Amino acid sequence: MWKKLLAILLVLLAVFSISKVGYTASVNNKSRYQVITPEKDYSATKKKTVLISGKAPQGTEIIIEVYNAIDLTGKNYSLTRLPKDEDYVLVSSKTIKSGAAGFGEEIELILGVNKIVVKFNVNGVPSVEKIFYYYEVERAVEALKNPSILYSTN
């Protein structure tokens, strides 16, 4: 009886004393730092504000910059005819910190094309750009009634 009990204890001791080798997948910066909302890179909206949310490790500083392209050239910017990078003007910049559940911030848009750049203050993590075309319904209806507003010969 003692021999069986001793044999079982030795087997259990051997099983629990063998160290387990664990392999972890390399942690990808892209999966740790993401903008979740909005999903699309380009979208049109009639809402004055938009929610930017995502995930990042707690305490990460995140800079959200809002750029707008004021159309003084008559090129009639749209989602299909975006301004060049040099045509954008920085409208606002906000620094926030990521919490336990990630981050979220409501951003106010200006009429026309808005470019929102989310920068994670971490080396090696690329910034994320989202483009919004904010329009007023009244102006859209007017543009549909008068197509010359939409298309310029310039």
pLDDT of 26 reads 43
Tens of pLDDT, residues 41-89: 999 999 999 999 999 999 999 999 999 987 766 667 888 889 988 889 9
Strands 89-97 and 128-134: unpaired
Query: In a 10 Å sphere around its CB, with 0-12 CB exposed, 13-18 middle and 19+ buried, how is residue 32 labelled?
Result: middle
Which of 38, 10, 48 has its CA nearest to residue 134?
48
Instruction: Give the pTM.
Output: 0.70
All residues at 6 or more sequence positions from 78 whose CB lies less than 8 Å from its CB, including other chains: 113, 133
